[in-house]
């Protein structure tokens, strides 16, 4: 279905298969590479691993970097939302 068929952008976002990649998922991705150093990644925080890999979400089977957007509703973040890190005030 196309985005214009939806009356609300939030309904469109909810209809897609989106997943925030957690530490377990990121380590599984690193295990695919035989030269990876998984022991080092296990000691890092998830947000640091996301920056290292350069993507944060799995959306419709593709890895996307949604840095600078709310991780829940995907709206662009304002600079004053720094206290919530990657989420907007509404989420």
Q: 3 and 14 in contact (C-beta within 8 Å)?
A: no
Q: Can you give the residue ranges of every domain in the chain?
A: 3-84
Cα 80–89–3 angle (5° rounding)?
110
pTM: 0.66
Q: What are phi and psi of 51, to 5 degrees?
A: -65, -40
pLDDT in tens, 18-56: 888 888 888 888 888 877 788 888 888 888 888 888 888
pLDDT over threshold 60, residue 5: no
């Amino acid at each position: 279905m196309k985005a214009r068929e939806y009356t609300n952008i939030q309904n469109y976002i909810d209809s897609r298969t989106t997943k925030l990649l957690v530490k377990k998922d990121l380590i599984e991705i690193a295990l695919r590479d035989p030269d990876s150093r998984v022991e080092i990644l296990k000691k890092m925080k998830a947000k640091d691993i996301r920056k290292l890999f350069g993507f944060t979400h799995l959306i419709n089977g593709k890895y996307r970097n949604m840095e600078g957007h709310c991780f829940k509703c995907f709206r662009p973040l304002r600079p004053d939302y720094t206290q919530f890190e990657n989420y907007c005030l509404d989420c």
